[in-house]
């Protein structure tokens, strides 16, 4: 290959890579870059390179697992279809989305949030487009959406306004994620006190109670539960039991996936420890840091809820997010758990 060809190929590659960062705001500074990297690690996203796949769709990929693609940077929602045969009286459709991470700040927000927004938009540059695509698809299919948390990246007035625009437009069942209750993006900010402090403000952008909600559709009970801090509280467990004991087929929506050996191995292979799953057995938490054990270790009601969910014969499927990858694992031989990433819309037909 002669030097002219080499230079041409390099120029084309540089152009393609630069396309992946066209949405980076001009005011992102070096400090923000460092923060973005730090948050990226915490949110399980490799530094990545922009590539072009399919019909010009850009994704940010990394190679922690060869062949695995975490599509946090897709320039548009990618829709996948799934059918659940669980005994609905009449078939119905919904779209499962998760972890959109709207990361905006506006004139009503503090300056530090503008900086945070600049950093985070490098990681989630297409969040608004993905949400727009999901809304359009829901309108086209005349169906509702279930969002399993982290619709917003941090509590800013602008993020909440954008979330409300979405929930005003489409019928959206929401289960809270950990990012619904953070103003600093630090895990140290994830305390029950802060959750309670921000809950009223955040709740206003959503139609249903984002900590617990149930809706019956065509003889199927859809139950959305906030387990965003890796715990299920006693009052949530009681309400869950009430819903399950109605005897209808149940689909459960959570932010944090339940521990399964396969999910654990997959998560650790992708991101290392900790595994960011609910009810990880103590012996599997060896190697976790002290803070992670304190934050993620299951309390008694969480352990009880886990045992209850896996033994309830009418809990038919679980949908969740938090991991920023697409994955299916079996919690029991009868109970599939679908983890959905930031840019996938799962079009679920329930029969
Ligand atoms: Fe997330």
Q: Note whether residue 24 is domain-resident.
A: no
Q: Note whether residue 57 is domain-resident.
A: no
Give the whole-angstrom CA distance, residue 92 versus residue 347: 10
**How far, in Å, is the centroid of ligand 1 from the Cα of 241?**
27
Q: Which of 35-44, 116-125, 215-224, 293-302 has the lowest mean pLDDT?
A: 35-44
**How far, in Å, is the centroid of ligand 1 from the Cα of 153?**
8
Domain total in the chain: 1
**How far, in Å, is the centroid of ligand 1 from the Cα of 187?**
13
Q: What's residue 43's pLDDT?
A: 54
Q: Note whether residue 224 is domain-resident.
A: yes
Mean pLDDT, rounded, for 302-318: 98
**How far, in Å, is the centroid of ligand 1 from the Cα of 136?**
22
Give the whole-angstrom CA distance, residue 68 versus residue 283: 27
Q: Is the pLDDT of residue 269 over 70?
A: yes
Q: What's residue 251's pLDDT?
A: 98
Domain CATH for 276: 3.30.750.180
For the segment 20-63, what is each residue's pLDDT rounded down to a tens digit? 322 222 222 333 344 444 444 445 443 232 222 222 222 333 32
**How far, in Å, is the centroid of ligand 1 from the Cα of 327?**
15
**How far, in Å, is the centroid of ligand 1 from the Cα of 344?**
13
Q: What's residue 134's pLDDT?
A: 97
**How far, in Å, is the centroid of ligand 1 from the Cα of 139?**
25
**How far, in Å, is the centroid of ligand 1 from the Cα of 230?**
13
Matching residue, tokens 């289960």: 175
**How far, in Å, is the centroid of ligand 1 from the Cα of 10?**
34
Q: How confident is the model at residue 321 (pLDDT cuts 50, 70, 90)?
A: very high
Q: How confident is the model at residue 67 (pLDDT cuts 50, 70, 90)?
A: very low
**How far, in Å, is the centroid of ligand 1 from the Cα of 308?**
26
Q: How confident is the model at residue 75 (pLDDT cuts 50, 70, 90)?
A: confident
Q: What's residue 189's pLDDT?
A: 84
Q: Note whether residue 263 is domain-resident.
A: yes
Q: Note whether residue 4 is domain-resident.
A: no
Q: Note whether residue 182 is domain-resident.
A: yes
User: Burial level of 6, CB count in 10 A (0-12/13-18/19+)?
Assistant: exposed
**How far, in Å, is the centroid of ligand 1 from the Cα of 321?**
7
Give the range of the structural domain holding residue 215, as residue numbers without chain letter.
66-350
Q: What's residue 338's pLDDT?
A: 98
Mean pLDDT across the chain, nearest whole number? 84
Are residues 244 and 311 in contact, defined by beta-carbon separation less than 8 angstroms? Answer: no
What is the CB neighbour count within 10 angstroms for residue 174?
Answer: 28
For the segment 175-205, what is each residue's pLDDT rounded down to a tens digit? 999 999 999 998 888 899 999 999 999 999 9
Cα–Cα nearest to 103, from 65, 131, 71, 78: 131
Q: What's residue 74's pLDDT?
A: 64
Give the whole-angstrom CA distance, residue 145 versus residue 173: 6
> What residues pair up with 146 in beta bridges, in sequence order?
96, 173
Cβ partners under 8 Å of residue 105, min gap 6? 113, 114, 116, 117, 156, 157, 158, 159
Q: What's residue 5's pLDDT?
A: 52
- Per DSSP, which regions of the chain are E strands? 49-53, 57-61, 78-84, 92-97, 144-147, 172-174, 212-217, 220-225, 250-254, 315-320, 327-332, 335-339, 344-350
**How far, in Å, is the centroid of ligand 1 from the Cα of 309?**
23
Q: What's residue 325's pLDDT?
A: 94
**Alpha-carbon distances of 41 from 45, 47, 123, 193, 287, rounded to whole Å:** 6, 8, 11, 25, 17
Q: Note whether residue 11 is domain-resident.
A: no
Q: What are phi and psi of 344, to 5 degrees?
A: -95, 135
**How far, in Å, is the centroid of ligand 1 from the Cα of 3?**
44
Q: Note whether residue 29 is domain-resident.
A: no
């Amino acid at each position: 290959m002669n030097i002219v060809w080499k230079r041409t190929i390099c120029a084309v590659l540089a152009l393609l890579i630069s396309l992946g960062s066209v949405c980076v705001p001009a005011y992102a500074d070096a400090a923000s870059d460092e923060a973005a990297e730090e948050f990226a690690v915490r949110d399980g996203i490799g530094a990545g390179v922009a590539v072009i796949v399919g019909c010009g769709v850009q994704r940010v990929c990394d190679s922690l697992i060869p062949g695995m693609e975490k599509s946090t940077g897709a320039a548009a929602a990618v829709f996948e279809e799934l059918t659940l045969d669980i005994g609905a009286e009449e078939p119905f459709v919904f779209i499962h989305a998760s972890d959109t991470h709207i990361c905006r700040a506006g004139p009503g927000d503090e300056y530090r949030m503008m900086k945070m927004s600049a950093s985070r938009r490098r990681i989630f540059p297409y969040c608004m487009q993905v949400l727009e695509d999901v809304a359009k698809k829901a309108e086209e299919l005349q169906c509702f959406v279930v969002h399993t948390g982290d619709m917003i990246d941090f509590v800013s007035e602008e993020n909440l306004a954008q979330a409300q625009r979405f929930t005003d437009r489409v019928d959206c069942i929401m289960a809270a994620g950990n990012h619904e209750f953070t103003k600093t993006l630090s895990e140290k900010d994830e305390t029950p006190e802060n959750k309670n402090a921000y809950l009223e403000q955040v709740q206003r952008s959503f139609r249903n109670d984002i900590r617990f909600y149930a809706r019956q559709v065509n003889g199927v009970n859809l139950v959305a539960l906030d387990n965003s801090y890796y715990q299920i509280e006693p009052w949530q467990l009681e309400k869950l039991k009430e819903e399950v004991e109605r005897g209808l087929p149940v689909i459960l929506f959570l932010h944090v996936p339940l521990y399964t050996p396969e999910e654990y191995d997959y998560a650790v292979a992708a991101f290392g420890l900790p595994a960011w799953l609910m009810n990880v057995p103590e012996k599997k938490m060896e190697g976790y840091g002290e803070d992670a054990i304190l934050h993620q270790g299951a309390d008694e009601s969480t352990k009880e809820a886990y045992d209850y969910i896996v033994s309830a014969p009418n809990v038919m499927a679980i949908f969740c997010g938090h991991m920023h990858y697409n994955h299916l694992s079996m919690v029991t031989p009868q109970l599939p758990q679908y983890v959905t990433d930031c840019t996938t819309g799962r079009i679920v037909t329930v029969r």
